[in-house]
A and B are shown apart, each in its own frame.
Chain A
């Protein structure tokens, strides 16, 4: 479980996060949704420590991440897997080397065990016969799947995904969503997904947090979204004609 408590964050005079408090539950897909510029990515990067928060606390189970020294944070980061918006695969490494990288750095496995683990992770995300290709030689969907394989290589307790579906076609996007959901259940991870893709929300949104102008504006499940009277959330979720019709039917 990850607990965010009264977190504030500003850049110069611009307040980006305003007194945010959230509990992200283990074994569930926790989705952070909101418009572009609402503060979702800053919140996600603050939780993993890529941004220092101005005030407030972030707990990984009972461990206060914000008050930890660099060594403590490094230890927690070894329990984190992250899938970045663009995949963030290492260009100079092949698909297999990308997945092997965290194993090389942090595991005590021998070469064969590492290779087996890398192949297991690649198979888990349905990547076969592409081990020696480089990121530039594979599609965007494959890059995201390799990024997921790299993120789960060390059996993380926490999985973060920053807009994992951006730039993907709807079919591939659903595949990625379901893959994240399956992996979350399989390893009982605390998964936090940053998205503004409504299909993802409806597909895998077990817990949804709506961020609007740096504030936590709503929290609930995908089923509760249809009954909400939060105007900002309604405007955001049911912006398209398709979702307006779905709401009417429901």
Chain B
């Protein structure tokens, strides 16, 4: 019952969020601010994680391919496919659900408990639309760039790890990265990234917006937001993979 109640409440929340904004100019400046807050500020963590994950994927693949019948270029190929198909979209999505999601839920939750949302409503402003729509638009816009960055950095991380440890020949690795490339996989992953961006912003906003009580409840809402958006990302990942790669 609670699940159905929440789905209904979330649907009503989305109707509020996607209504006509009060002022287009204000929306635009808010989107730019959110791009900076949600996207540009996440570049560091995306780069660090992608670099190390690319390196680990390369090393693990290399150490598990000691069979001489397997060609060396498969290491680069595996790293590219792992980054392209799954890591840079889903795993980065999960990491951002933690970083960005908790930030959004606690920001909006704090605004609720300190009556800042009431202040917006009193001014005649649709607070859900004013606070949440710029975040959703900003994330859907910027996250695909983070995805591309993650793929690039991950593959570079693999190359550096392979080269520095001497486990992979550079030429073989680069051959592998270029081998049997299917451009549609990028489209597939970009679609996933955009859907995950929506989940990462809309779910925490929902939990933050309806928080009741004080600091303790804001913390709880933040935790719930991260857990539920992570689960939804995994669920959406399965559904989208089945639909888009069938």
* Chain A residues within 8 Å of B, Cβ to Cβ: 45, 48-50, 73-78, 80, 82, 84-86, 88-91, 101-102, 104-106, 160
Closest 5 CB pairs of A and B: A77-B124, A88-B115, A74-B124, A88-B119, A84-B115
**What separation, in Å, do the CA atoms of A74 and B116 have in the docked complex?**
17
**What separation, in Å, do the CA atoms of A80 and B118 have in the docked complex?**
13
- The contact of A105 among B22, B116, B118, by CB within 8 Å, is B22
Q: Is B23 an interface residue (CB 8 A)?
A: yes
* Chain B residues within 8 Å of A, Cβ to Cβ: 22-23, 26, 110-111, 114-116, 118-119, 121-125
A-B pair count, CB < 8 Å, reads 52
Are A105 and B119 closer than 8 Å at their CB atoms? no
Contacts of B119 in A (CB 8 A): 82, 84, 88, 90
Given that A86-B114, A88-B115 are contacting pairs, would A78 and B26 also be in contact in the complex, using a CB cutoff of 8 Å?
Answer: no
Given that A104-B26, A105-B22 are contacting pairs, would A77 and B122 also be in contact in the complex, using a CB cutoff of 8 Å?
Answer: yes
Nearest neighbor of B130 in chain A, beta-carbon distance: A105
Given that A88-B116, A91-B116, A105-B26 are contacting pairs, would A78 and B121 also be in contact in the complex, using a CB cutoff of 8 Å?
Answer: no
**What separation, in Å, do the CA atoms of A226 and B26 have in the docked complex?**
52
Nearest neighbor of B116 in chain A, beta-carbon distance: A88
- The contact of B123 among A49, A50, A77, A85, by CB within 8 Å, is A77
> Chain A nearest CB: distance from B35 CB in Å?
15
Given that A84-B115, A90-B116, A91-B116 are contacting pairs, would A48 and B122 also be in contact in the complex, using a CB cutoff of 8 Å?
Answer: yes
> Chain A nearest CB: distance from B77 CB in Å?
46
Are A78 and B124 closer than 8 Å at their CB atoms? yes
Are A102 and B123 closer than 8 Å at their CB atoms? yes
Are B123 and A105 closer than 8 Å at their CB atoms? yes
Given that A91-B116, A105-B26 are contacting pairs, would A80 and B125 also be in contact in the complex, using a CB cutoff of 8 Å?
Answer: no
Are B115 and A77 closer than 8 Å at their CB atoms? no
Q: Identify 18 new A-B residue pairs, CB closer than 8 A, beyond the known A84-B118, A90-B119.
A: A48-B122, A49-B121, A50-B118, A74-B124, A77-B121, A77-B123, A78-B123, A78-B124, A80-B122, A84-B115, A84-B119, A86-B114, A88-B115, A91-B110, A101-B123, A105-B26, A105-B125, A106-B123
> Chain B nearest CB: distance from A44 CB in Å?
11
Contacts of B22 in A (CB 8 A): 105
**What separation, in Å, do the CA atoms of A101 and B29 have in the docked complex?**
13
Nearest neighbor of A71 in chain B, beta-carbon distance: B124
Instruction: List 24 contacting pairs A-B, 8 Å CB cutoff, sorted by A.
Output: A45-B118, A49-B121, A77-B122, A77-B124, A78-B123, A78-B124, A80-B122, A80-B123, A80-B124, A82-B119, A84-B118, A84-B119, A86-B114, A88-B114, A88-B115, A89-B116, A90-B116, A90-B119, A101-B123, A102-B123, A104-B26, A105-B123, A106-B123, A106-B124
Contacts of A76 in B (CB 8 A): 124
**What separation, in Å, do the CA atoms of A86 and B114 have in the docked complex?**
7
> Chain B nearest CB: distance from A174 CB in Å?
24
Contacts of A50 in B (CB 8 A): 118, 121-122
Are B125 and A86 closer than 8 Å at their CB atoms? no
Contacts of A104 in B (CB 8 A): 23, 26
Contacts of A105 in B (CB 8 A): 22-23, 26, 123, 125
Contacts of B122 in A (CB 8 A): 48, 50, 77, 80, 82, 160
Contacts of A88 in B (CB 8 A): 114-116, 118-119
